[in-house]
Structure 1
């Protein structure tokens, strides 16, 4: 008993130390768990989306952001911060069909019918404003079949083009196309469709500039084109010198362009092709140090569409101004997509695709879904001209090699015409005339 009692103090000391160790361990673990939760909360806080209000005029007392041009550069670059464009309500979504609610049928769903009696609606040689980029017959195209196709919707008819009626719709108004070279092609088509009934001394065309204007004195009307390929301000806003390796844009501002388009009565917008040419550099209006962020084309396009949609949502009264948005124009760069196992592209094609529902890689479905999401929130403020599917069938409608090229081709390229064929733009008369028939239908 005596020996046992002598060991007891040692056991008590060991027990005390053990209990202390356990308590310290528990306290440390609780502290660690708490810190993990705090760190996690902090991470979640850091990942919270920051919404930027677009199209905010700069206070004159503050240094306004420098206007972007083809000489603009980024002083440095960093990863995309995750900022989003805030317009109307950034969390609200609503469904909408891409067909006017007043339509009894879908005029965008149909087939192409060969019609060499009613078409073409004008002759290439009769339009003094024809572009050398689109004048395929002038530049040697031997077949003219591409001019004779009429779009026939299923179960209904497209309103027949009437030049006098169209001019009456435009009397005293400004019709403006805003966008890239594909939208410029639609503008040239419209001018060619309209100009024939205007005496030569009563019509005029301003010199090529960011804003080019066709004027018809008799109707006190203009048909205009504004070069704005990204819709928002960018370093590619020069209509001639815009082939730049790096695209730089202000994702939160259309103010530079909207100052020119805001007074138009009818606006026709497009954008798509330029977003498929690699990542885009973002220079926010609030950035004063020239630091750019870099984002993929689809993400950058969504930001630009948000800034554009903010202008439409806040500035457009549908009773006074009509706004149209033209969906993406398809390309035909890979012949194997409509003819399995084949090489080449649109070069040599002479007839449309007959496979109803055909869809090639030149039309990007994620982009279409993003655009539909944006436009659905604008509801009645925008009429959608969904030209994508109907244009997909027209693989033979591109200029291919039958246009003016400003670059010089190597002997190897000349021996293989498919290597330099233009399978992006469209011959005139041709597919863009139908886009304008759709515009006329909805007006």
Structure 2
């Protein structure tokens, strides 16, 4: 009896011990699993953090107020290797900016400095010598590259009924003390930036000035004034695959019509901003890759409608971020080209090559300046009157058919024998010799700053 009872009670005891063993094993394994899981989570967070840091330093930091409706805006950064997986016709889509601006009364100056004529003045001009400017570009150094006539350097812009203030570099540096002046745009705006450097650098001792190498943001520093004059390469204003300041000659131009974020992180820190955009929109259709597009499908738009999208994105940033009490913003109108001499001299079949004097007809308007584009820009800027001043260089530059480099510049590709036999065939009638027309653009700019 006792023996039978003992055998019966032994089984529940063994079961109890086995049950407790299983519970302990499960508990220990669960703790171990949780610890491993926590470590994996921390490891994953570390990887994610490193990736976020990597993204932060590989792309530009951005103001939170812009494109807040586009959470995937920085998912794919456009560069010169970007391509469209497929292309469809532009649907007419707009970014849908929600910000509205009250139109302001345009300031009426006592004198319209944009209306006038060119006067030959070999006493006061040029304002500097080409060879004395260490920042001169080979694209603009016409004398260095063999231009035989110097007349293009001696023309002064004379507004009707008033005078532009005489250039005084020291006075201008005093106004720029402690400030960042930034040009943003394409090669024409870069030419204006170089002009500004040449106009101002001579009064800064060599050991007190420096410049960064060619970069998306190139900075000239004047140490004793704690001031910089900068140029940011942004030919389409919005983010694009052409934002490399050197390697931007691409067969397919792709832009994000709803994002200026890549460039705007620098704009918000500048005290004076000078924008331009025009020439790149006249080079055929543009591919649009919206920030919310996940499949790499681009829309193809014509230059004017693509430019309007870019201008809208730019205007939204200006309207949302610029305090006119702290920042001054300027938009420079289109720089005209002189590709067809028949437009200023009937019966001819040339271009700016060999031209040596300005056009005297004050009503002259060539095909290099597009009225539809100017109207669109005027409409966009009209909502920003309190925040943006327009520097209207178009009409006064229209007269200067003689001011282009034509063949007197460095060309990056070798010229063929056929081209060399016909110089007119490879003339640059787009950019401007320095000293020359862009110096006057800067005089007009300083007219509104001083």
Return the TM-score normalized by structure 2. 0.83
Where does residue 277 of structure 1 map in the other structure? 283
Equivalent in 231, 244, 247 of residue 253 of structure 2: 247
Where does residue 341 of structure 1 map in the other structure? 347
Residue 95 of structure 1: CA displacement?
Answer: 8.3
1:68 paired with 2:78, answer: yes
Residues 55, 311 of structure 1: 8 Å contact kept: no
1:146 paired with 2:152, answer: yes
Residues 251, 284 of structure 1: 8 Å contact kept: yes
1:431 paired with 2:437, answer: yes
Residues 232, 257 of structure 1: 8 Å contact kept: yes
Q: Whole-Å Cα distance in 2 between the matches of residues 341 and 286 of structure 1?
A: 52
Residue 306 of structure 1: CA displacement?
Answer: 0.2
Q: Whole-Å Cα distance in 2 between the matches of residues 63 and 379 of structure 1?
A: 29
Alignment of 1:40-119 (within 5 A): 55-56=67-68, 59=71, 64-87=74-97, 101-119=107-125
Q: Whole-Å Cα distance in 2 between the matches of residues 88 and 81 of structure 1?
A: 20
What whole-Å deviation, never above 9, does each CA across 1:168-226 have from its counterpart, x for those lacking one? 11100000000000000000000000100000011001001111000000100000000
Q: Whole-Å Cα distance in 1 between the matches of residues 247 and 69 of structure 2?
A: 27
Alignment of 1:248-397 (within 5 A): 248-397=254-403
Residue 289 of structure 1: CA displacement?
Answer: 0.8
Query: Which sections of structure 2, spanning at least 5 residues, go unmatched?
Result: 1-64
Residue 89 of structure 1: CA displacement?
Answer: 5.2
Residue 54 of structure 1: CA displacement?
Answer: 6.2
Q: Whole-Å Cα distance in 1 between the matches of residues 146 and 67 of structure 2?
A: 47
Residue 87 of structure 1: CA displacement?
Answer: 3.5
What whole-Å deviation, never above 9, does each CA across 1:318-354 have from its counterpart, x for those lacking one? 0100000000000000010000010110000000000
Q: Secondary structure at the match of 2:383?
A: helix
Residues 99, 316 of structure 2: 8 Å contact kept: no
Where does residue 185 of structure 1 map in the other structure? 191
What whole-Å deviation, never above 9, does each CA across 1:280-314 have from its counterpart, x for those lacking one? 00000011111100100000000000000000001
Q: Whole-Å Cα distance in 1 between the matches of residues 260 and 73 of structure 2?
A: 18
> Which structure's CA Rg is the greater one?
2
Residues 104, 385 of structure 2: 8 Å contact kept: no
What whole-Å deviation, never above 9, does each CA across 1:384-404 have from its counterpart, x for those lacking one? 000000000000000000000
Q: Secondary structure at the match of 1:164?
A: helix
Equivalent in 127, 131, 134 of residue 133 of structure 2: 127
Alignment CA distance shift 1:58-1:88 (3 Å): closer
Residue 158 of structure 1: CA displacement?
Answer: 1.4
Residues 54, 86 of structure 1: 8 Å contact kept: no
Q: Secondary structure at the match of 1:379?
A: coil
Alignment CA distance shift 1:69-1:288 (3 Å): same
Alignment CA distance shift 1:337-1:248 (3 Å): same
Q: Whole-Å Cα distance in 2 between the matches of residues 241 and 339 of structure 1?
A: 38
The count of aligned residue pairs is: 385
Query: Which sections of structure 1, spanning at least 5 residues, go unmatched?
Result: 1-52
Q: Whole-Å Cα distance in 2 between the matches of residues 281 and 177 of structure 1?
A: 25
Residue 86 of structure 1: CA displacement?
Answer: 3.2
